[in-house]
Amino acid sequence: MDVRLSQSRVRGRTRAPPSKSYTHRAILAAGYSDAAVVRDALVSADTKATMRAVRAFGGTVERDGQTVDVEGFDGRPETPDNVIDCANSGTTMRLVTACAGLGEGLTVLTGDDSLRSRPQGPLLDAVFDLDGRAESTRRNGQAPLVVGDGMAGGTVEIPGDVSSQYITALLMAGAVTDEGIDVELTTELKSAPYVDITLEVLDDFGIEATRTDDGFSVAGGQSYRPAGGEYSVPGDFSSISYLLAAGAAAGADDEPVVVEGARPSAQGDKAIVDIVRDMGAEVEWDEDAGELTVSVADLSGTTVDVGDTPDLLPTIAALGAIADGDTVIENCEHVRYKETDRVTAMAEELAKMGANVTEQQDRLTIHGGDTDLVGAEVDGRGDHRIVMSLTVAALVADGETTISGAEHVDVSFPNFFETMRDLGVDVTED
């Protein structure tokens, strides 16, 4: 699907979708349990992949709107009858890999072209070191994967600078092993707030897991039991970033943008509030009400380290193309290993719109003072975050912008363009 957008002003009240990160973890945690209800869940292409995996392991998943009722496999995943297709969801594949390692039989995991190009090797090595079977069919550390043979507990080493999802996967699975799992990090941990999210969800499901001097530890022999049998998902700050950016860059002079569903949580991407403020926008956050109010402003460049917030890079890059001066995004090499190489993708697509960009391996600099954005035909690269960030840039570009592959917003923000239209954006879907 292509979308065509013209320069627009945004105003009014809207609501952020539920957190994708929390929903993935909560659905799988419910699968590990005997039974649990997940409320306010994000229902998207990615989270549906995790629901399919829970079903494949012997659970049942029934959905009524954003309420997901799960009868779990109680810590003992069955051998699936068929291959588990994780589609484009890297979170699903990594979390499910460790779960599959617990099974007595073997599970085959695959996904689309993008997912089959993403690194899984360190997690496969960890499952193998914990006495499970874990192989890449192409012997390159990438899916399709074959995993199983009853992974045990114990101590395992793993790098922390490739994906924090490896640690999440091992902690979630380790709780239902006999011995538990101690994860020792061999490198600095990047995207650390995502492990904080995991620890928060585990605690809400009655699982004790802790940080250690060397990494993380989860005791074995535990049971997943949320209080009252229910868990509620908070709003998603990765998705909120596009709404805040739109309000700061293209808001109406007479009315701010108000974003509901912004309650405090462990999400590292809440840093977008301070980033937008640093660039000159006025943002008020009523944490008790869970409301963010942002007003349009003349933005200035800033410097941001995205070591812990990789999903914010596309949003910051789009804002940098709108702001005066240079915006420097540092510590971003790991952002190259997402649905696409997001560093190169934003550099190349913003350049099509007239942005002056300097790309380095671990740094992206957008020279906003030397940029006049114009409408262009750009490629969403099959990546929901690229599509939504280019939408922000299109709001201030002179002329019409066409974004191809816009349907990929379904991964995390299924009604994104409807939301944009409600805020006043001139958008047409083809």
- Is 385 assigned to a binding site? yes
- What ranges in 190-255 are assigned the alpha helix state H? 192-204, 237-250
- What ranges in 269-366 are assigned the alpha helix state H? 271-278, 313-322, 342-352
> For the packed helices 313-322 and 342-352, what is the interaxial angle rounded to 10 degrees?
30
Query: Active-site residue 426, yes or no?
Result: no
Beta bridge partners of 211: 216
- Is 311 assigned to a binding site? yes
CB proximity list for 42: less than 8 A, separation 6 or greater: 17, 18, 19, 20, 23, 66, 233, 236, 412
- Is 4 assigned to a binding site? no
- Is 118 assigned to a binding site? yes
- Is 48 assigned to a binding site? no
- Is 13 assigned to a binding site? no
Of the candidates 425, 423, 386, the residue with the CA atom closest to the CA atom of residue 405: 386
- Is 217 assigned to a binding site? no
- Is 165 assigned to a binding site? yes
The token pair that represents 120 in the structure block: 């899984």
- Is 25 assigned to a binding site? yes
CB proximity list for 164: less than 8 A, separation 6 or greater: 189, 190, 191, 192, 194, 195
Q: Name the active-site residue from 85, 269, 311, 379.
A: 311
- Is 191 assigned to a binding site? yes
- Is 342 assigned to a binding site? yes
Q: How many CA atoms lie within 13 A of 151 on its CB side?
A: 43
- Is 223 assigned to a binding site? no
Are 315 and 245 within 8 A, CB to CB?
yes
Q: How many CA atoms lie within 13 A of 226 on its CB side?
A: 27
- Is 133 assigned to a binding site? no
Q: Helix-strand-coil percent breakdown of the chain, rounded to 5?
A: 35, 25, 40
Residue stretches of the annotated binding site: 20-21, 25, 90, 118, 163-165, 191, 311, 338, 342, 385
Active site residues: 311
Binding residues for phosphoenolpyruvate: 20, 90, 118, 165, 342, 385
Binding residues for 3-phosphoshikimate, as ranges, are 20-21, 25, 163-165, 191, 311, 338
